[in-house]
Structure 1
Amino acid sequence: MTQPHDTRQIIEVDRTPETPRDVAGKRRYIAVAGNIGAGKSSLVEFLCQRYDIEPYFEPNEENPYLEDFYADMNQWSFASQIYFLTAKFKLHLDLDQTTHSVIQDRTIWEDAEIFAENLYRKKLMSERDYRTYRQLYEAVRSQIQPPDLMIYLRCPIRAVKKRIKLRGREMEKNIPTAYLKQLDRLYEGWIANYNLSPVVIIPSHELDYVTDLVDCHDILTAIEKYL
């Protein structure tokens, strides 16, 4: 499953059970996953310009713990992750009620399987807090619908760091490289085993869908069948 990071190939994977999919007239739920700085928000904005879909963005700016978390991950990891889990659950309740197609920037599955998992493995979240978080996550997960398509943006750490620097968010400027690398490893393991919906894997550091017509065509062709 894991592909070299320098490939330009768009990969399509579907491990979902072979059950009939009633798609006629149905609103679509598309999710975009990927590491910090992988280009999720840019792709969401691009697809919203091309299609009649409503964006739902990661609630970073609203998280009252995020700046404290980046300054002291050990102290604020549990509070920050609980905030994201709560905000994502509310977002899912909202988007589940929509009658039109939606696209989401970062998913609730990433919050748990990547970010909370990493904090626990790095001993930045205690086992007690992690158990509590996972119990809440499992309860939330049972109440929400998976996406009709998961788009995963694969991006090497050198490109991620460059993008983080370019966008200039103060709270992100001192994120350790080791932290980003561990997130990348968890992302690759997670997407290799993800089986809730079809997956389109895009090497976001190689494909320029904004100015390159060939890249734009290839990406839209891979995605349009799910829209």
Structure 2
Amino acid sequence: MQHIAIAGNIGSGKSTLTRMLAKHYGWEARFEAVEQNPYLDDYYKDIHRWSFNLEVFFLKERFRDLIDIHNADHTIVQDRTIYEGVYVFMENNKAMGNLSDRDYETYMELFEQMMEVVTLPDLMIYLRASVPHLVGNIQKRGRDYEQQMQLDYLENLNKRYDDFIFNKYKGPVVVVDKDELDFEHNPKDFAKIIDSIDQRLFGLFTN
């Protein structure tokens, strides 16, 4: 059993790549419960009021996923991880003044306790994309609550993603520059990602 995680900003193509990898390798795909989060619509209408509620719900769901993945007897590829929820989205909300120190400390203590019983993914794949690329994808998929997002919000998340991946995360990572690839429609681009994964997971090298 292995745990493969797909990391990346909103609109970077995580769900698409998760589905494609699951099909290619015969892995189970595990998606985050975005649409099922009962705070999501309220959050985008009033981020300051609903940040703590939204983040705690996601933390709870992602921790449950980690327990399920740990207990699984087969490989699972996961769309977004608990680590991004903490080091990217939660930290961004804190920096924007959307969380009190009290709420932040409570959340972080809960997260740290969770980390005592889980392990890092065997491989994290980071889909790195520019803000214009993200905006284009967000507009294409047309989720109403996402259309209200500001460009500086996406830019702040991008900076925190880079900081998380390159400075804080301790596990193995493959970085995919999404602006340069169209892995959904170009088989050669998808093959490049497969080659990188095979090298890291199985020690396989291609010419």
For Structure 1 versus Structure 2, the TM-score category normalised by the shorter chain is over 0.9
The answer for the alignment partner of 1:74 in structure 2 is: 48
The answer for the alignment partner of 2:119 in structure 1 is: 145
Which of the two has greater helix per residue? 2
* Residues 97-176 of structure 1 aligned to structure 2 (within 5 Å): 97-176=71-150
**C-alpha RMSD of the superposition:** 1.1
Q: Which runs of 5+ in 1 are unaligned?
A: 1-26
Residue 209 of structure 1 and its aligned partner are, at CA, apart by 2.1
- 1:44 maps to a residue whose letter is T
* Residues 1-227 of structure 1 aligned to structure 2 (within 5 Å): 27-225=1-199, 226=201
Q: Which runs of 5+ in 2 are unaligned?
A: 203-207
Question: How has the CA–CA distance of structure 1 residues 175 and 195 changed in structure 2, closer, same or farther, with 3 Å as cutoff?
Answer: closer
How far, CA to CA, are the matches of 2:187 and 2:172 in structure 1?
A: 25
Q: Which has the higher contact order (CA 8 A, sep 6+)?
A: 1
Residue 212 of structure 1 and its aligned partner are, at CA, apart by 2.5
TM-score, normalised to structure 2, is 0.94
| Structure 2 residue matching 1:205: 3-state secondary structure | helix
CA contact (8 A) 2:17 2:184 kept: no
CA contact (8 A) 2:16 2:184 kept: no
- 2:192 maps to a residue whose letter is D
The CA deviation string for residues 48-81 of structure 1, in whole angstroms up to 9 with x for no partner, is 1101100110110110001100110000000000
Q: Which moved more, 1:75-84 or 1:195-204?
A: 195-204
TM-score, normalised to structure 1, is 0.86
Aligned length, in residue pairs: 201
| Structure 2 residue matching 1:145: 3-state secondary structure | coil
The CA deviation string for residues 88-126 of structure 1, in whole angstroms up to 9 with x for no partner, is 111111111110000100000000000010000110111
CA contact (8 A) 2:12 2:129 kept: yes
